[in-house]
Structure 1
Amino acid sequence: MANLVSLVPPRRILIVTDAWRPQINGVVRTLESVGKQLRQRGHQVDYLTPEAFWTVPVPTYPEIRLSLASRRAVFHRMAHARAHHIHIATEGPLGLLARQFCIERGKGFSTSFHTRFAEYVSARLPVPEEWSYGYLRWFHEPAGNTLVPTPSLRDDLAARGFPHLQLWGRGVDMERFKPGRSATFQHFRGPRLLYVGRVAAEKNIEAFLSLEIAGTKIVVGDGPDRARLEKLYPDAIFCGYLHGSALVEAYQGADVLVFPSRTDTFGNVITEALACGIPVAGFPVTGPRDVLTDKRAGVVDENLESAVRQALLLKREDASAHAQSFTWAASARQFLDGLVPATARLPHLATAI
């Protein structure tokens, strides 16, 4: 099974994404990791990203920048790529122009659903979720396949009228994220409860910070809500972003990863924590309930405090063992299976534009 991707003739694959470095998030990590796997198997993988164009920061979220690419520039780059497969990963400005290119040129393409954009918008603006989901449905409808990371998200989107959904799971870098114990937080009172991710409204971090559990709450990450939360929860430790070995040691120095988000589509930090031997606690929603299928590795419960207390009783070796089922090699195989030939006939062409 491990060599199935290599049995496929080498392909030229173009991935179009509005999310890219220097952003730090699961979308960027996933696209880079899968691209690396496919290149190792002989495929040519190119990315069309905001790096090639002028960008502007998103209001209230300056770390995310949107491209100001012109139609002419994007169309030229896509035509020059001569890709066998075009994958549009995001629904932003670049994704829209790439979608338009494919429709106007009659090119088959695939898309992926990474982010609950509708919930994120409604958390910041008085925009009904139904409006945003209407846009997302319109965006993905002409794609040959729309790749989603979990079965529960697939079921949710299918109920909302999204067609041709296909699973594309995620992996974790086992060589980087390894079991172990570090002294990173040893001077803090235990148990040491860890959150890793963006510090933003849609992440529901206050559900974590307001837990009445003795010990120390540690936040690794940054974002627009950090200053407000630091004032509200002065006993919590805010570390900012950590990278490389510092991030691994942060996981290894914790007793439980608390994942309070109700809007993530997967949660790459869950598998990273598990790989480091850290049990996880979260709500029974898309992401945690799909990943934490082994009750020895983590706990999902509508009572987050109860989930954390139960997770503290789990064994670290069981958490790391469960992580072994999430590999980037398997993710790359699913991604390749979900691609659509650029020569394929577009569905719903008459209503796509």
Structure 2
Amino acid sequence: MSSILIVTDAWRPQINGVVRSLERLAEQLVAMGLRVEFLTPEKFRSVPMPTYSEIRLSLTIPSEVKRHIEEAGCDHLHIATEGPLGLMAGSVAKREGIVFTTSYHTRFPEYLNARVPVPVDWTYAWLRRFHNSGAGCMVATPTLENDLRAKGFTNLMRWSRGVDHELFRPMETRTLDHLPRPIFMNVGRVALEKNIEAFLKLDLPGSKVVVGGGPQLEELRSAYPEAVFTGPKQGEDLVAHYAAADVFVFPSLTDTFGNVMLEALACGTPVAAYPVMGPVDVLGGSSVGVLSQDLQQAALQALDIPRDQCREFALRFTWRASAEQFLRNAEQAHELARSMQRMPSPADQHISAA
């Protein structure tokens, strides 16, 4: 396998775990000698998603998506999201007999239900049909794999994540030195599904800092004037904020992994989170974070965790290992497709028996 086409509705200028994961994946695959192409909303006219203007929805038709897939001429097609582009790419691939894999990044049924009264079972039924139509669905954690398998998802493949150890690192910084200690921080998209208000409601000493942008930013900034909202940060500025925090508080109940936890740990900052999917898989059994239904108590206990211990733990996760795992999954998907083609049909079996 020498080339891969990745179709994704989530792309720049969005700043989130899906986009960062795909960017790091591509970097590593290219370093391994593969050619990587992306099909994103940048290729088409798009409109902002209602209630979430940062997300762009592509305006296109299947024939255009088919043309782009054919022009890419890649050995493998991976569909990363279930938006307009992903759905059309899946439809084209099935019709044209193209082997493809998908990945399950986001608990979209729960996200949607938090915004509009759509039963999660309805959305899962739709997602199940989409993901089961491919040769494999990549998931980040054992907990997510078990959850989706119980819901009828098939051909599940493990694809973990990594962290850039050179960028995200402990550092001496005067960032946020003006704030009372200890500093409790959350980094990520400021949106309803991230449950950031649960963090802001905690009775904690020192300061609370929220780094990131999103549709709920102004609402929370107005409701919690004592908290510090920095807006989005990137690069060295983001690293300086992670490194300045005493505890990283991750209140999400719906994330499938939580790349930001690894970024915080790589900077030496311990984590406090609920014992749910994502935190359980990343932190469970380790001593670099505290998981508890009492998030306030978890945040306070995490203050005692040594920072060098956090850094050492994060070094176990690399983007190279993540990319190698992704590539093995793609190759396995093609082998599965070939084996299915070699299997005799029921009609052939009947003729042979006769």
Distance apart, 1:343 and its partner CA = 9.7
- The answer for the alignment partner of 1:218 in structure 2 is 209
Q: Is the 8 A contact 1:280 1:297 kept in 2?
A: yes
Q: Is 1:88 matched up with 2:68?
A: no
Pairing partner for 1:299 from 286, 290, 295: 290
Deviation at 1:294, TM superposition (A): 4.7
**What is the letter of the counterpart of residue 221 of structure 2?**
E
The letter for the 1-side match of 2:93 is: C
How far residue 108 of structure 1 moved from its aligned partner, in angstroms, is: 1.3
Is 1:129 paired with 2:124? no
The match for 1:155 among 138, 146, 150 is: 146
Match of 1:341 in 2: 334
Q: Which runs of 5+ in 1 are unaligned?
A: 1-9, 349-353
Match of 1:310 among 301, 322, 325: 301
1:276-306 CA-partner distances (Å, limit 9, x unpaired): 0000000011111111135321111111011
SS at match of 1:344: helix
Runs of 4+ in 1 over 3 A off after TM superposition: 345-348
Partners of 1:347 and 1:163 in 2: how far apart?
15
Q: Find the counterpart in structure 2 of residue 52 from structure 1.
A: 43
The aligned residue for residue 249 of structure 2 is: 258
Which has the higher mean CA deviation after the structures are superposed, 183-192 or 339-348? 339-348
Q: Distance in 2 between the 1:328 and 1:308 partners?
A: 28
The 3 A distance-change label for structure 1 pair 128 and 346 is farther
Q: 1:144·1:347 contact (CA, 8 Å) conserved in 2?
A: no
- So what's the TM-score if we normalise by structure 1? 0.93
Please tell me the residue identity of whatever aligns with 2:337. Answer: A
Q: Provide the rounded CA distance (Å) in 2 between the counterparts of 1:107 and 1:346.
A: 15
Identity across matched positions, percent: 52
Provide the C-alpha distance between the structure 1 equivalents of 2:121 and 2:153, rounded to a whole number of angstroms. 13
The structure having more radius of gyration, on CA atoms, is 2
Structure 1 residue 342: Cα displacement: 9.6
Q: RMSD over aligned Cα, in angstroms?
A: 1.5
Corresponding residue number in structure 2 for 1:20: 11
Alignment of 1:94-109 (within 5 A): 94-109=85-100
Q: Which segment drifts farther, 188-197 or 287-296?
A: 287-296
- Residue-by-residue CA offset, 1:211-253 (whole Å, 9 max, x unaligned): 0011100000111111111121110000000111110000010
TM-score, normalised by the number of residues in structure 2:
0.93
Paired residues, number: 339
**Which residue number in structure 1 is paired with residue 349 of structure 2?**
none
Please say if residues 106 and 346 of structure 1, whose CA atoms lie closer than 8 Å, have aligned partners that are also in contact. Answer: no
Q: Distance in 1 between matches of 2:210 and 2:230?
A: 6
